[in-house]
């Protein structure tokens, strides 16, 4: 590992969005002693993404650009490739429509340097709209990675959050330790066919289960560009319904994390011992909410939010049915995983051994 920060931009056909995103990265401010780079992960693009990226940063030699290609579609594959290829200790994921504030990278670097137990730094965001803000947007802004995930700064390791990777900074050694301990992601993320994501939440929950801390600092902020084609009612409905696809797998991680914290979270999809009971729980929730939702839908001002709520419930129900008995198997697998806990200790020992080996080599 080398001290510095890598801005990893995972993109698929991102040519229209990259110039603004890279212009904001070029405007970031760093101390002279902090190394940095921009790493574009081209995830099976069919447009001129790479040429646009090179042109956008051609006049900024202080922010080196590298491009790698990940041929397998899926944001999960792209993020893992970015973590593997990054040159520096800390990785900040920047989606191709994220505009970081100028001091973002320096703040993230300093926070990571200040505490070796911090594994992830989540960020907050605000939307920038290419068209008038739809009335339904606030009801599902979290699905767009917009807003604040936390009500306080500091340690948020035990908070229930969406854990989106937009603007997220990771300690690369923490991720490498997970990989070395045989962790394998199960959620592939968006692949161009479905809007179901979840690979970001899985990544964060795995790091928390490995014993790493999450620290929130409100200065870590970015603006999230909302193009007109993502502000349609059809897109919002698809995002709300399809976005529930990874919920069963994510719920398994949350359940084990809740057990390790000694708490029982009412927000878990399935706290029962079997998936049929989880299905029954979801049906019960839908039945209890149906009259209230129906009443609200009569009031025109709340139609959009009510429809999205019902789509969310239906999407969760469908996802639970598809996942079936795998839920219990995944819970058992996570409970006995070799990567569970002691991540910071393993990394510290590894770094000590590396330092001793380097010292012996210098002496020889």
Contacts of 293 (CB under 8 A, 6+ apart): 306, 309, 310
pTM to 2 decimal places: 0.87
Q: Which long-range contacts (CB under 8 A, 24 or more apart) does 231-239 make?
A: 231/129, 231/130, 231/131, 231/133, 231/134, 231/137, 233/134, 233/136, 233/304, 236/134, 236/136, 236/137, 236/140, 236/304, 236/308, 237/307, 237/308, 237/311, 238/195, 239/140, 239/143, 239/144, 239/195
Tell me the sheet residues that pair with 223: 99, 126
Is residue 117 a contact partner of residue 212, using CB atoms and an 8 Å limit?
A: yes
How far is 354 from 348, CA to CA, in rounded Å?
A: 10
How many residues would you count in the chain? Answer: 364
- Per-residue pLDDT 10s for the chain (364 aa) are 689 999 999 999 999 999 999 999 999 999 999 999 999 999 999 999 999 999 999 999 999 999 999 999 888 899 999 999 999 999 999 999 999 999 999 999 999 999 999 999 999 999 999 999 998 999 889 999 999 999 999 999 999 898 999 999 999 999 999 999 999 988 877 766 677 778 899 999 999 999 999 999 999 999 999 999 999 999 998 899 888 888 889 989 999 999 988 765 434 444 444 555 666 666 666 655 555 555 444 444 445 677 888 888 888 888 888 887 788 889 999 999 999 999 999 999 988 887 766 666 665 5
Please name which of 189, 157, 227, 1 lies closest in space to residue 93, comparing C-alpha atoms.
189
Tell me the sheet residues that pair with 99: 223
Crossing angle between the packed helical segments 18-26 and 49-56, to the nearest 10 degrees: 30
Helix, strand, coil tally for the chain in percent (to 5): 50, 15, 40
Positive or negative torsion for Cα 74, 323, 239, 119: negative
Quote the pLDDT of residue 321: 81
Question: Apex CA 302: angle with CA 314 and CA 223, to 5°?
Answer: 85
Tell me the sheet residues that pair with 68: 41
13: three-class secondary structure by DSSP: coil
Residue spans per domain, the chain: 5-231+338-348, 254-334
Positive or negative torsion for Cα 204, 210, 216, 220: negative
Quote the pLDDT of residue 206: 96
How far is 332 from 119, CA to CA, in rounded Å?
A: 24
5-231+338-348: CATH topology is: Spore Coat Polysaccharide Biosynthesis Protein SpsA; Chain A (3.90.550)
How far is 302 from 67, CA to CA, in rounded Å?
A: 45
Quote the pLDDT of residue 287: 59
Quote the pLDDT of residue 359: 64
Contacts of 338 (CB under 8 A, 6+ apart): 181, 182
147: three-class secondary structure by DSSP: strand
Quote the pLDDT of residue 290: 57
How far is 351 from 171, CA to CA, in rounded Å?
A: 13
- The pair of structure tokens assigned to 317 is 């129900």
Quote the pLDDT of residue 270: 42
How far is 54 from 66, CA to CA, in rounded Å?
A: 9
| Enclosing H/E stretch for 107 | helix 104-114
């Amino acid at each position: 590992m080398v001290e510095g920060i890598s801005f990893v931009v995972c993109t698929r056909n991102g040519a229209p969005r990259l110039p603004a995103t890279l212009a904001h990265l070029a405007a970031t401010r760093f101390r002279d002693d902090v190394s940095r780079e921009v790493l574009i992960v081209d995830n099976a693009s069919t447009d001129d993404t790479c040429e646009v990226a090179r042109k956008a940063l051609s006049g900024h030699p202080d922010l080196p650009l590298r491009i790698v290609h990940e041929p397998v579609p899926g944001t999960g594959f792209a993020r893992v490739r970015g973590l593997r290829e990054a040159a520096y200790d800390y990785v900040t994921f920047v989606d191709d429509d994220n505009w970081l504030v100028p001091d973002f990278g320096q703040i993230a670097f300093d926070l990571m340097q200040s505490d070796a137990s911090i594994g992830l730094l989540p960020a907050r965001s605000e939307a920038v709209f290419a068209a008038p803000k739809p009335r339904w947007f606030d009801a599902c802004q979290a699905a767009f990675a917009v807003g604040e995930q936390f009500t306080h700064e500091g340690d948020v390791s035990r908070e229930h959050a969406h854990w989106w990777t937009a603007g997220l900074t990771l300690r690369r050694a923490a991720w490498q330790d997970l990989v070395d301990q045989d962790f394998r992601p199960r959620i592939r993320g968006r692949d161009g066919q479905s809007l179901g994501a979840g690979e970001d939440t899985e990544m964060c929950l795995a790091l928390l289960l490995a014993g790493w801390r999450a620290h929130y600092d409100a200065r870590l902020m970015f603006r999230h560009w909302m193009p007109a084609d993502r502000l349609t009612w059809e897109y919002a409905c698809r995002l709300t319904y399809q976005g529930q696809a990874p919920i069963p797998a994510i719920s398994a991680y949350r359940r084990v994390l809740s057990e390790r914290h000694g708490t029982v979270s009412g927000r878990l999809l399935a706290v029962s011992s079997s998936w049929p009971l989880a299905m029954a729980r979801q049906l019960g929730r839908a039945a209890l909410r149906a009259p209230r939702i129906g009443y609200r839908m009569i009031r025109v001002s709340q139609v959009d939010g009510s429809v999205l709520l019902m789509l969310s419930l239906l999407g969760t129900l469908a996802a639970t049915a598809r996942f079936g008995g795998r839920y219990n198997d995944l819970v058992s697998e996570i409970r006995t995983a070799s990567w569970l806990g002691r991540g910071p200790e393993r990394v510290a020992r590894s770094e000590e051994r590396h330092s001793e080996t380097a010292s012996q080599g210098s002496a020889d």
